[in-house]
Structure 1
């Protein structure tokens, strides 16, 4: 078995290392910036949108309507997965990733300029939903490409580590978004934050996306895609091929993502609402818990990805999924007294468990599909699972808490997701490194000399 990219490409080790470093940075930076945009919206959906875009005398109704717009960002992801996943397998990873970055950045910037309900009436929440929809389409096409960008420059034997670059993006983006909102809520009065302060976090996306574009435009496409192009083995109808020839891998990948998405929604989105409305904690105290826990994830996710390279990937993932099923019960019991310190510790543990699913997840998902269908297959799995996982979770948590009057129903919801994820892992396959090695074994033809 080959040990380094140089044996695959008969090229220079220095060039491969440099390309891998650039790809890792581009995957991490771009995904972090896009998830900053997405996370800012998620936090705002809990903190300000119920008052500004969905005014209602009943706080629960406002929260449900606000979380509905949060869900739109997940429901629209399959469209992005289909459109951009197909393009990623046909025209390349890099081009698609530039488009998705611009799409999310523009949508987020416009949200920061959007008039509220009191200014333009029902048009305000309508436009907000449309912009949220655009965000979701962009994210739906982003994840599969970002994972392939970093993993396809590295060796298959270390795919868990390299693919985790894109997985670091959500907590990094969440860290930046939560940090920004924490500073704004600390520096401004409640009226100032509701009036204009929340807009600053959205408008900041312009500078962040510009930086991400600068990194991505300097990249070449991945060695895998170049090899597929050279052999003229790119699919003509990748979506159809995935559903007709790789349906079991698709089902496995979708199910494997349910527990991570639902546990993440519990720890980062629903916790904000639960902490401020049920535990009488301040917004700053709840945001601090998410902020601290996200910081730990920056290190735990790549560690978990590397751990899954050393041991069986499905085993590492499965143990974490089992823990995810059990943790919510302890989580709600420990935070019941309303202690800010207890909340921080419990969110740290919860997102730590999430890390040991999320770190190996990217490698596991793309390994379910053949190289020529990886962008389409992984994007479909990511986005379809997002609808049933991340989109419904905040709504389900809020509704279950209201109808049951206790935390037991939300905890059971997470437990079911954990069981389904374990079943999905059992349906999946272990990595087949020979697929990549066969593609990359033939040296890349040297370019023809330019005419004099």
Structure 2
């Protein structure tokens, strides 16, 4: 945030610009907020969202099959759990549309406050939700409703800061600034994975399934409330509000967006599909597959994945330097090719005992970091300023839905019924879509 000593000057300058709109284009220094300050808001928001994301994802494997689907075999229970897991990805674009309308009529603060309340209710509701043994099928219905609520709220929590950061980043450092928000993914996984690993190691299986699993949801609720209030305070300041308005980062109607920017939405959603497909195939899928078909300690698997998340964080950081040196399009294209190569080794590695599984997890996380670090720029690169706010949100929602929303369900279902080779084909298809979209988008290398 800007220092207190300069805040008055900044607000005075903003008031002067509002009183003389024509002067906006004559000011050499029309932004009073440095990209680094915007980046703080981006990192806070994304880290909290990803922590909440992974708490639910891990619980979908370790907890929900047993406590909400005890009447099914473990495989079927896990698949049902993954169906509910996907509901948030289906609801997210709907949430974006609904909350964009709220912002148009009531303002940015009302939109974010509404999203905060809905997310808090949904996450806290899961923490207190009675299980199947207490409530029967009603517990499954309530879990589904709360999961939809999380998706709607995450769609509504879009604050425009990543787009603002992209537009204000120096020309030669756009890859670096684009990766900052993506650091939230490995950080969120490391914290969520560590919490579950600690609970598994220190509680009996009965205590863990009875009450221990609820603790990470309490933490997720607290973190999201604090983070969303921090973001709300950030974007509601006069300086940020003016900068967002100046950059035309305001909602546009979905019909207008799709009518004029439909091609960019489609290409943006597919350009980083390799990253989104790999995302759940190194986080959620290995945990579910090993739970079902291996006698390995789940705590040890989580520790390996936490280590992999550390590799991912290093890869995200490196991606910024690489993209600024070689271009985002070249970076994403090369990583899509490497992910396609990795897809061919899925059966050998996942069926190769602890060593093979560890190699797949660590290699996958490393490639994910290098690729996912630039995924945010990929989905927003081609939008004109007035469409970027809504376009970036909706395109990101569609990328998650197409690439990651059903990945755990599809990967586990295919591997269980047809073999791990079909997981290779699934991952390969994501890499192929990315390379095809990047080949159509020559402008991605030179525009942010």
Please confirm whether the aligned pair reaches a TM-score higher than 0.5, indicating the same fold: yes
The residue number in structure 2 matching 1:439 is: none
Which of 76, 81, 93 is matched with 1:78 structurally? 93
Matched with 1:374 is: 388
Aligned pair in 2 of structure 1 residues 236, 117: CA closer, same or farther (>3 Å)? closer
CA distance in 1, matches of 2:184, 2:26: 29
Equivalent position to 1:400, from 411, 414, 419: 414
Q: Deviations over 1:341-374 (max 9, x none)?
A: 5433321210111122211111122112111111
Look up the match of 1:4: none
> What does residue range 8-87 of structure 1 map to in structure 2 within 5 Å?
10-11=28-29, 16-17=33-34, 20-85=35-100
Partner Cα distance (2:105, 2:435) in 1 = 32
For residues 321 and 119 of structure 1, do their structure 2 counterparts lie closer, same or farther at Cα, with a shift above 3 Å needed?
A: same
Q: Distance in 2 between matches of 1:186 and 1:334?
A: 26
Query: Greater CA deviation, 290-299 or 67-76?
Result: 290-299
Q: 1:164 aligns with which of 179, 195, 203?
A: 179
Q: CA deviation at 1:334?
A: 2.8
How far off its partner does 1:122 sit?
Answer: 1.2
Shift of 1:22: 3.2
Greater displacement, 347-356 / 214-223: 214-223
Segment drifting more, 176-185 vs 238-247: 238-247
Residue 213 of structure 2 is aligned to residue 198 of structure 1: yes
Task: Supply the distance in 2 between the matched residues of 1:299 and 1:234 (Cα, whole angstroms).
Answer: 31
Matched position secondary structure for 1:201? helix
2:71 alignment partner, SS class: coil
Deviation at 1:269, TM superposition (A): 0.6
The Cα shift of 1:141 comes to: 3.8
Residues 368 and 429 in structure 1, CA contact (< 8 A), matched pair in contact too: no
Contact 1:89 1:375 in 2 (8 A): no
Mapping of residues 78-227 of structure 1, within 5 Å = 78-85=93-100, 96-97=111-112, 99-142=114-157, 145-220=160-235, 226=242
Contact 2:160 2:249 (C-alpha < 8 Å) held by counterparts: no
Using the size of structure 2 for normalisation, the TM-score is 0.86
Residue 295 of structure 1, aligned match among 302, 307, 310: 310
1:291-317 deviations in Å (ceiling 9; x for gaps): 111122222213203321222211100
Report how far residue 11 of structure 1 moved. Answer: 3.8
Using the TM superposition, name which of 195-204 and 86-95 deviates more. Answer: 86-95
2:402 corresponds to: 388
Asked whether 1:411 is paired with 2:428, we answer no
1:256-307 deviations in Å (ceiling 9; x for gaps) = 2322111111110111011122232121122112211112222221320332
Check whether the contact 1:86–1:376 (CA below 8 A) recurs between aligned residues.
no
The residue aligned with 2:10 is none
Structure 1: gaps (5+ residues): 1-6, 437-452
Partner of 1:257: 272
Deviations 1:393-428 (A, max 9, x none): 111112211221x21011111101110111111222
1:84, distance to aligned residue in structure 2 (A): 3.7
Residue 260 of structure 2 is aligned to residue 245 of structure 1: yes
Q: Residue 101 of structure 1 contacts residue 142 of structure 1 at CA under 8 Å; is this kept in 2?
A: yes
Counterpart position of 1:353: 367
Q: Closer, same or farther in 2 for the Cα pair 1:227/1:396, shift >3 Å?
A: same
Give the Cα separation in 1 of the matches to 2:317 and 2:253. 30
CA apart distance, 1:375: 1.8
Other-structure match for 2:13 = none
Q: CA deviation at 1:78?
A: 1.2
> SS of the counterpart of 2:69?
coil
Match of 1:229 among 235, 240, 245: 245
Given that 2:380 and 2:395 are in contact with CA atoms closer than 8 Å, whether structure 1 keeps it comes out as no
| Partner of residue 421 from structure 1, selected from 431, 434, 440 | 434
The 1-side partners of 2:38 and 2:439 are apart by 31
2:352 aligns to what SS in structure 1?
A: coil
Contact kept, 8 Å, 1:254 with 1:385, in 2: the verdict is yes
Structure 1 residues 333 and 241, CA gap change in structure 2 (3 angstroms): same
* Alpha-carbon contact 2:115-2:153 (below 8 Å) kept: yes
Higher relative contact order (CA 8 A, sep 6+): 1
Q: CA RMSD in A?
A: 2.9
Distance 1:227 1:214, change over 3 A: closer
Cα offset for 1:215? 2.8
Equivalent-residue separation in structure 1 for 2:132 and 2:145 (angstroms): 15
